[in-house]
């Protein structure tokens, strides 16, 4: 049970944002649970492998132009439009990975895990494979998580899943996405 407590602490170490997130959830097999992170990454569907890489490349490509002054504004706008076209195409490709019968909506997410509503309680320590679809980032993440906490809600349970097998760049993408959404929520509340 100590390992589960460690996972719960890891889960709580990251900021969670209350925001709906489309997720596919399926039980992990014993073979998947036994995999190292490298083996898990090797077995990851290709679309998920390139998703976060494309997001990172876009951020790095535009960074040098941001401080070059107004002279380059038109070039930056053009490059942002090209990046947006790529984002739209990537979103379309990633939507092909969404399995309707496995689809759920997370009520919170962050760099440490997700919280999913459930009609039934789950066994703490059980593992699932997650596909997280970050529409605002035009990205998707494939990872494994473990049930670390179950809280009773009005209409069922809120199950907290901590990531056990996730690439570092994917975890960073989740942190960035949660921060972007928090910033948007703050702007919205300040304008009201």
pLDDT of 150 reads 97
pLDDT of 43 reads 94
Which stretch of DSSP H or E encloses residue 42?
Answer: helix 37-43
Confidence of residue 64 (pLDDT cuts 50, 70, 90): confident
Percent over 90 (pLDDT), the chain: 54
C-alpha distances in Å from residue 98, one per residue of 47, 69, 171: 11, 41, 20
Please state the pTM of the whole predicted model: 0.85
Judge contact between 136 and 181, C-beta under 8 A. Answer: yes
Confidence of residue 1 (pLDDT cuts 50, 70, 90): low
């Amino acid at each position: 049970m100590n390992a589960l407590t460690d996972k719960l602490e890891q889960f709580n170490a990251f900021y969670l944002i209350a925001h709906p997130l489309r997720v596919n959830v399926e039980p992990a097999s014993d073979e998947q649970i036994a995999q190292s992170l490298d083996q898990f990454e090797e077995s990851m569907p290709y679309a998920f492998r390139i998703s976060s890489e494309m997001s990172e490349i876009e951020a790095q490509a535009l960074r040098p132009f941001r401080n070059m002054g107004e002279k380059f504004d038109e070039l930056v706008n053009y490059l942002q439009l090209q990046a947006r076209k790529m984002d739209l195409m990537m979103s379309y490709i990633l939507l092909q990975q969404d399995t309707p019968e496995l689809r759920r909506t997370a009520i919170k997410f962050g760099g440490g895990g997700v919280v999913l509503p459930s009609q039934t309680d789950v066994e703490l320590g059980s593992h699932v494979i997650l596909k997280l679809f970050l529409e605002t980032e035009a990205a998707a993440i494939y990872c494994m998580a473990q049930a670390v906490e179950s809280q009773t809600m009005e209409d069922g349970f809120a199950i907290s899943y901590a990531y056990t097998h996730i690439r570092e760049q994917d975890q960073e993408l989740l942190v960035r996405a949660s921060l972007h959404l928090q910033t948007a929520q703050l702007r919205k509340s300040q304008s009201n």
